[in-house]
Amino acid sequence: MISEAGFIGLGSMGLPMATNVIAAGIKLRVHNRTASKAQPLLAAGATLAATAGAAATAGGMVLTMLADDAAVESIVTGADGIAARLGAGGIHVSMSTIAPATARRMAAYHADHGSIYVAAPVFGRPDNAAARQLVVCTSGPAAAKDRVRPILDAVGRAVFDYGEDPGAANVAKLTGNFLIAAALEAMAEAFTMAERNGVDRVKVAEMLGKTLFACPVYQRYGEMVAAKRHTPAGFALALGLKDVELVLKTGGDARVPMPLAAVVRDRLISGLAHGRDQMDWSALALGVLDDAGIKSS
């Protein structure tokens, strides 16, 4: 039974995830660059760690939900990094979407300090996180995964294991994010074709979401793309670009050409160039409207 843990990263995903960990009866030490974001957790019984390192205790457990590879590496390494603080038997559960190569490098760094790295990236948006409906991919040492399983069950509805390679779970996560991005591009093109031919794009999205493509991605994102509604951002466009660039790097390292990923990457870059950085990554669909000469609002 896990009685306490550290949690670093209280953004739109981390905050509801940490809330569910506390609800499962696990006492948390929490840290976030903007300390005020921890206030709801402190009211629920968490304690505030002044630094990321202070969220870790010898032989304990720390969960991280951070924006990118650099953020993960910055809290793992160094004299006050969590790897040194955790020490022998300690476990770092990394729930961020990062490069498989970064995960393997962090696992090696932890091993050098006697601690253990478990990859556990998640699928889902903030409301899924709040409802404990995330899907978790995991990889790492079997005994460590068994030990952290109660925490993974506290934040998600399903856990899928990809073996001991610390990078494997992140490969699986990137495949899913690539498919979502590709679906966004496909839906944007299809619905814009419908609109240009005088057919209600929202009705087309509703029909497809109930029949041929009756699945969450086409239903939820389909409604957003069809309605041209991309705020508030559940997953920011810049983060989408980061993930698609990770897809291209991971594919390139394995000598797998991914031309569709390159198309989507350019859509996301164009969206940022158009000042859409505060929008959801589904706003890549607005680029199709731009190309078709249709105003997005």
Residue 280 lies in a domain: yes
Choose the final residue of a domain: 149, 164, 179. 164
Residue 93 lies in a domain: yes
pLDDT in tens, 183-230: 999 999 999 999 999 999 999 999 999 999 999 999 999 999 999 999
Residue 221 lies in a domain: yes
**Judgement on whether residues 210 and 243 belong to the same structural domain of the protein:** yes
**Judgement on whether residues 202 and 261 belong to the same structural domain of the protein:** yes
Regions of the chain where pLDDT drops below 70: 297
**Judgement on whether residues 89 and 30 belong to the same structural domain of the protein:** yes
Residue 112 lies in a domain: yes
**Judgement on whether residues 39 and 148 belong to the same structural domain of the protein:** yes
Residue 255 lies in a domain: yes
**Judgement on whether residues 182 and 284 belong to the same structural domain of the protein:** yes
Give how many domains the chain has, as a whole number.
Answer: 2
Residue 297 lies in a domain: no
Domain harbouring 119, CATH code: 3.40.50.720
Residue 51 lies in a domain: yes
Closest CA to 285 of 209, 224, 197, 195: 224
Q: What are phi and psi of 157, to 5 degrees?
A: -100, -15
Choose the final residue of a domain: 164, 181, 207. 164
What is the span of the domain harbouring residue 237?
A: 171-292
**Judgement on whether residues 128 and 176 belong to the same structural domain of the protein:** no
Q: What is the pTM of this model?
A: 0.95
**Judgement on whether residues 200 and 102 belong to the same structural domain of the protein:** no
pLDDT of residue 278: 95
Residue 43, sorted as left (phi over 0), alpha (psi -120 to 50) or beta, turns out to be alpha
Cα distance between residue 109 and residue 83, in whole Å: 7
Residue 193 lies in a domain: yes
**Judgement on whether residues 58 and 129 belong to the same structural domain of the protein:** yes
**Judgement on whether residues 154 and 217 belong to the same structural domain of the protein:** no
Q: What is the DSSP string of the chain?
A: ---EEEEE--STTHHHHHHHHHHTT-EEEEE-SSGGGGHHHHHTT-EE-SSSGGG--TT-EEEE--SSHHHHHHHHSSTTSHHHHH-TT-EEEE-S---HHHHHHHHHHHHHTT-EEEE--EE--HHHHHTT-EEEEEBS-HHHHHHHHHHHHHHEEEEEE--S-TTHHHHHHHHHHHHHHHHHHHHHHHHHHHHHTT--HHHHHHHHHHTTT-SHIIIIIHHHHHHT---S-SSBHHHHHHHHHHHHHHHHHTT---HHHHHHHHHHHHHHHTT-TTSBGGGGGHHHHHHHT----
pLDDT of residue 297: 66
Choose the final residue of a domain: 113, 148, 164. 164
Q: Catalytic site residues?
A: 173
